[in-house]
Structure 1
Amino acid sequence: MDCAIIQWDLATMKKLAIFPGNRNDFKCGGHFQKVTSVCTGDAVGHPELLCSVGDDKTLLLWDVRAPNKGCVQRLLGHQSGIASVACSETSAQAAGEGMGGAQMSYSGGKIFTLGEKDKALKVWHLDSVFSGRYVDSQYGHTNYGTCMDILQGDRPVTGGADGTVRYWKVANDTHMLFNVHKKEGYGSVDAVSLLDPEHILAGGQDGGLTLWATNSRRPVASVGGAHRATNLSRKTDAGDESDDDEDDFDFTKAATAQPTMASDGQAEVDRAVAAPWISSLASIRCSDVGFSGSNDGLINIWRTSAASKGKMNLDLDRSIKLPIKGGWINQMAVGSTGRVLVAAVGRNHRLGRWDTKPGRDGLAIVRLEHDGPSRTI
């Protein structure tokens, strides 16, 4: 574990830069524990900004034009490792208005970080491109924070090991609670993604995929065993059908299967029954298309559509088989054009070593339009 960050050119498949890091080296200029999440400053109008967080409890700001010089600023405040980081533009209200109602110029943006053990959602303000300061902390999760996404303003959505999704209105110091798992200890929410400002995809260790509307406390659509279900009759992007002879599979039992504790203290899941966990989610922004990843080597593509009585349909469009052997799909991101999907694949789940897979860690580049083959790094 080198604790470094690598920048890649997806066109040439070559390394552009390495942002330094070194385990337990406090003077390395970067992270000295595992890096858990990164985001760029595109959302705040500063593509030269890179934000990163890690198990060293720090938020680092980098200048992508000078990666070898180390981080520009190190921000402290969390009492535990940080699970996720995201940037958002400053709203017009936050930016304020000038004399006579004239709109003032853009005044920076916000960075949100979600702590793991401290469960804190922290807000940081960018006074300039590479100068941030702590603003506020808000609390709600009753167990570890695990994941976060944001699409606009001061309204991030977070997931936690308490089995809940929370939609925050930071300016009002309030949030909306969605009980994905109503029974305590039922399962962690490990991934969330905003399709648009009003619809949230959530998935986790029960293997189910749920779609929530921000104006309702009940899910508008759900799919149990979202990745196990595709084993029955799967159509891949190559166009071939496969049948794994699992017609008697009990999806209800799969969705409710609980891990048992092994003698060494690790969670040992009954693989014959439990549905594969949802380990990552992504979406094409402001569209009806979402993506889910697990440990089965597939990325499932889902489409939403309106149904009756305020409900929605969540249907499997197709599955893409990754050109990389095995592994957990720990994170996904869709390019701004919506044509490329990047998936980070690891031998272990990003939150723990419950199910180590063969192969090696790497990136899979998926062309969502037929303008080139999928590739790996």
Structure 2
Amino acid sequence: MQITTTNYNGHKLPPTCITMSGSSTCYTGSKDKCLISWDIETGKKNRIIKQAHSDHILSVAVSSDDKYLASSGRDKMIRIWDVRSPQSTHIFQLSGHFKDVTGVAFQSGTYQLYSSSLDRTVRVWDASQGSFVDTLYGHEGEVSCVDCMYNPRCLTAANDNSLRLWKVFEESQLVFNLSKTVNIDCAKLMREGIFLSGSQDGSVCLWSSSKRKPLVKFENAHGGEWINSVGTVRFSDVCATGSSDGYLKLWRARPAEKQLDQIANIAVPGFINGISMSDDGRVMVACVGQEHRLGRWTRNSSAKNGIVVVRMQVDQDAESEEDEEISDNDNDDE
């Protein structure tokens, strides 16, 4: 595998989140309350939205047609931006969460938006109308992230030591526990029934929706440091993890063989607070800062606040008939 990296500096304070839009643009949010649109080919800042929120921005997501950008933060608000307009017009403000909104994710092919919050809830919105749809209850701890693909189902992780896969239409949920003492900070779907998680104990886990426990648990994946972020190439076997140990790591996940193998170790000093990967698996972007996205427990003053663009050759032949998918019989609803 051939890998090249390019670093671009940008935010005045640590960036906390990143999402790709197409193959040449990405968006970042930061503790400086700004949103930046980047040209990842040149590092040029196409657009800077200052004071996009009144407090730290914690999450960004773009709709699959690249029309809407959603951002959320410590101000408890979700903002919807029309990024096709010349000035990235702010069109809606969604309120309802009563604590920090830690994550936003669009359902692919729709404008249905999911949000996660420290108030222990997950909310469903129609981003095109700026309207509230539903609240999902079940987590007993602060919800740290949310992810979604094509089906009306979303994946969340929380400080109640659990992952949950929400079947929105069925009004049910599948619950996955790693340990009674380990909080799961980040999670991403690889395909509808396979997902990856990172935990505060430094472990990376590969999961199937048909199993209550992880298929693979890779302990001390980043030298024992917290896993701050995970990224996946959809419908592929390639994924990535970030921490504060100075490395961005690439992995090959083989659910059928219950294997998770490290395939690359990329030097990236600082806290890797977010990872996003292109659909073709050739480009990965990561936002890197001097502090963790949710706190200031430790600080790496030698790190640069900005983004890292990684270009790589990956194997896209990832689908296998043996891989397990979600079915109505998967797990017991809880």
Shorter chain as normaliser: what TM range? Answer: 0.7 to 0.9
Cα deviation code 1:298-334 (max 9, x no counterpart): 1111112255xxx611111221223xxx211010000
CA contact (8 A) 1:18 1:67 kept: no
Q: Which residue of 1 aligns with 2:38?
A: 8
Instruction: Identify, as 1 or 2, the structure richer in helix.
Output: 1
Distance 1:281 1:337 in 2: 17
The Cα of 1:132 is off from its aligned counterpart by: 2.1
CA contact (8 A) 1:191 1:202 kept: yes
Cα deviation code 1:146-173 (max 9, x no counterpart): 1121112211101111111111101111
RMSD: 1.7
CA spacing shift, 1:315–1:75, aligned 2, 3 Å:
same
- Choose from 328, 337, 348 the match for 2:280: 337
The Cα of 1:69 is off from its aligned counterpart by: 6.7
Report whether the alignment pairs 1:193 with 2:188. Answer: yes
Q: Which residue of 1 aligns with 2:162?
A: 164
| TM-score normalised over the length of structure 2 | 0.81
- Choose from 367, 370, 377 the match for 2:311: 367
Report whether the alignment pairs 1:288 with 2:237. Answer: yes
- Choose from 84, 88, 99 the match for 1:65: 84
Unaligned runs of 5+ in 2: 1-30, 315-334
Report whether the alignment pairs 1:225 with 2:220. Answer: yes
CA spacing shift, 1:214–1:306, aligned 2, 3 Å:
closer
Match of 1:172, SS state, is coil
Give identity over the alignment, percent.
34
Report whether the alignment pairs 1:31 with 2:53. Answer: yes
Report whether the alignment pairs 1:179 with 2:155. Answer: no
Cα deviation code 1:68-116 (max 9, x no counterpart): 47511111111111000000146xxxxxxxxxxxxxxxxx530000011
The Cα of 1:227 is off from its aligned counterpart by: 1.6
Distance 1:217 1:114 in 2: 22
Q: Which residue of 1 aligns with 2:317?
A: none
Cα deviation code 1:199-251 (max 9, x no counterpart): 111111100111110011121111111122xxxxxxxxxxxxxxxxxxxxxxx
Report whether the alignment pairs 1:138 with 2:133. Answer: no
Distance 1:76 1:38 in 2: 16
CA contact (8 A) 1:198 1:214 kept: yes
- Choose from 210, 231, 247 the match for 1:298: 247
Q: Which residue of 2 aligns with 1:356?
A: 299
Report whether the alignment pairs 1:110 with 2:140. Answer: no
User: Based on CA coordinates, which of the two structures has the bigger radius of gyration?
Assistant: 1
Match of 2:130, SS state, is strand
CA contact (8 A) 2:108 2:149 kept: no
| Amino acid in structure 2 at the alignment position of 1:320 | I
How many residue pairs get aligned? The number is 283
Distance 2:55 2:86 in 1: 18
CA contact (8 A) 1:19 1:67 kept: no
Match of 1:301, SS state, is strand
Cα deviation code 1:35-92 (max 9, x no counterpart): 11011112xx3x12111111111111111134647511111111111000000146xx
Q: Which residue of 2 aligns with 1:122?
A: 123
Distance 1:334 1:2 in 2: 24
| TM-score normalised over the length of structure 1 | 0.72
Distance 1:2 1:203 in 2: 26
Q: Which residue of 2 aligns with 1:50?
A: 69
| Amino acid in structure 2 at the alignment position of 1:285 | R
Unaligned runs of 5+ in 1: 22-29, 91-107, 229-274, 371-377
CA contact (8 A) 1:18 1:68 kept: no
Distance 1:82 1:67 in 2: 27
Distance 2:108 2:84 in 1: 21
| Amino acid in structure 1 at the alignment position of 2:236 | S
